[in-house]
Structure 1
Amino acid sequence: MDLVVPVKRLAEAKTRLRGAAGDDPAAHARLTLALTHDTVAAARAARLVRRLIVVSSDPVVAAELAAVGVEVVPDGPLPGLNAAYAHGAEVLRSRRPDGPVGALQADLPALRPDELDAAIAASAGHARAFCADADGTGTTLLLAAEGVALDPRFGVGSAVGHAASGAVALTGAWPGLRRDVDTPDDLRAAADLGLGEHTRAVTVPCR
């Protein structure tokens, strides 16, 4: 499986999470970047992930991730999260036209590699499949089989949108894969599962 992970410019990302790692904007940027680092590290450690690229035009994101061997490609010509996923999928498919591709959210600091492997394995036999978030309304992972368009529909109510588009909902527990972080409460819930090392290093007690 080849995965694409989009990351907004740090100054614009995770606005509802502001203050969770301190009050100054630099602290918020560090937290946003830490979430990405932990998500990407877990994904790269998954056995069934062949290649991963990050889509971002933020120079700090590009430099930080390149330093640990992650490929970063700039945003495509169209704005928005779904456009970033589609652009990343095009890049991956340009290299392996018939390979399966996946879209992974960048804010999964409690993700475990074995959870991602289990979700990818569970998607076998389906043209497209997705993992809903802990609330059941959003999407943390979308997978498309060989030769199938990714057709991302992330955003508010994306679980319904992906199901309506024909993607199959994956039913495994996978708490770290389902726990995306948009708010301080989400961050506390992720901490209960066990944060990755980068997020642990920049978070202040939030209980």
Structure 2
Amino acid sequence: MTQDTVRPDGTLPPPAPTGGWSLVLPLKPLGLAKSRLARFAGPHRADLALSFALDTVTAALACPGVSRVLVVTGDPLAGERLAALGAVVVADEPGGGLNAALTHGAAYARRAWPDAPLAALSADLPALRPAELARVLAAVPTGGPGNRAFLADAPGLGTTLLACAPGARLAPAFGEGSRARHAAGGAYEITLPDVPSVRRDVDTGEDFVQALALGVGPYTAAAAAALV
């Protein structure tokens, strides 16, 4: 147990699980996804959004301890491509928004794999490294149904991962300012150093440049080449 996993009250969480994680990723219809990249990517915006998800899912499935990745989406093309990688595609419920989609996917995972620890993960982590994700998941406590933990994004205002113990309620509160909301809701913050690929989600052109500097996966690298 390291200092990085100390709770805000100074106590240490119980040991984390060694395997069996269910990860839930939300993905908007590609025509609506990543609207803030429109000026940067132009007609390639939907392609970028799909490539981000493909690289995120590929890395997540390669992560030690992850047993399954569920993608909540209503986009047929994205669903087909992600299912081909090995993801479990869960049909989104129209009009619910990001947190409703995550709650829907979490409920699906709980019904199918009730004893598995559960995490919500951003689908726009094109530089994601399996080993870094494994370190983050290993810092999540599993000692009781009230244990939840989150990882802040690179700017420190949002959240890229929210996780909980088997049987716990995920209670996602993603969106602008989610770091503060998750902390206020009782989740403790994982402050591991050297996991930049798990923190670097992409909403803007500047974010994308930073992800490229970290080293993106093959799908995003191919999509980026089309921008030149």
Pairwise TM-score range, normalised by the shorter structure: over 0.9
**Which of 132, 154, 164 matches 2:184?**
164
* Matched residue, 2:217: 196
Aligned partners of 2:221, 2:94: CA distance in 1, in Å? 35
* Matched residue, 1:53: 70
The alpha-carbon deviation at position 124 of structure 1 amounts to: 2.7
**Which of 180, 195, 201 matches 1:180?**
201
The alpha-carbon deviation at position 64 of structure 1 amounts to: 1.2
The alpha-carbon deviation at position 125 of structure 1 amounts to: 4.4
The alpha-carbon deviation at position 77 of structure 1 amounts to: 5.9
The alpha-carbon deviation at position 206 of structure 1 amounts to: 7.7
* Matched residue, 2:130: 113
**Which of 36, 43, 46 matches 1:16?**
36
1:72 correspondence with 2:93 = no
Aligned partners of 1:70, 1:2: CA distance in 2, in Å? 11
CA contact 1:138–1:158 (8 Å) conserved in 2: yes
The alpha-carbon deviation at position 65 of structure 1 amounts to: 1.3
What do you get for the CA RMSD once the two structures are aligned? 1.7
Letter in 2 for 1:84: A
CA contact 2:58–2:85 (8 Å) conserved in 1: no
* Matched residue, 2:60: 43
- Size of the aligned set, in residue pairs, is 204
SS at match of 1:97: coil
SS at match of 1:2: strand
Gaps of 5+ in 1: none
Aligned partners of 1:71, 1:163: CA distance in 2, in Å? 29
1:152 correspondence with 2:178 = no
The alpha-carbon deviation at position 18 of structure 1 amounts to: 1.5
Aligned partners of 1:33, 1:83: CA distance in 2, in Å? 21
Letter in 2 for 1:189: Q
SS at match of 2:151: strand
Q: Percent of pairs identical after alignment?
A: 49
1:102 correspondence with 2:122 = no
Aligned partners of 1:15, 1:114: CA distance in 2, in Å? 30
Aligned partners of 1:146, 1:10: CA distance in 2, in Å? 32
Letter in 1 for 2:154: A
Structure number, greater radius of gyration: 2
CA contact 2:27–2:72 (8 Å) conserved in 1: yes
1:178-198 deviation digits (Å, cap 9, x = unpaired): 000000000000111101111
Name the CA shift for 1:144/1:186 in 2 (closer, same or farther; >3 Å). Answer: same
Structure 2 length normalisation: TM-score? Answer: 0.85
Letter in 1 for 2:138: A
Aligned partners of 1:77, 1:159: CA distance in 2, in Å? 26
CA contact 1:20–1:206 (8 Å) conserved in 2: no
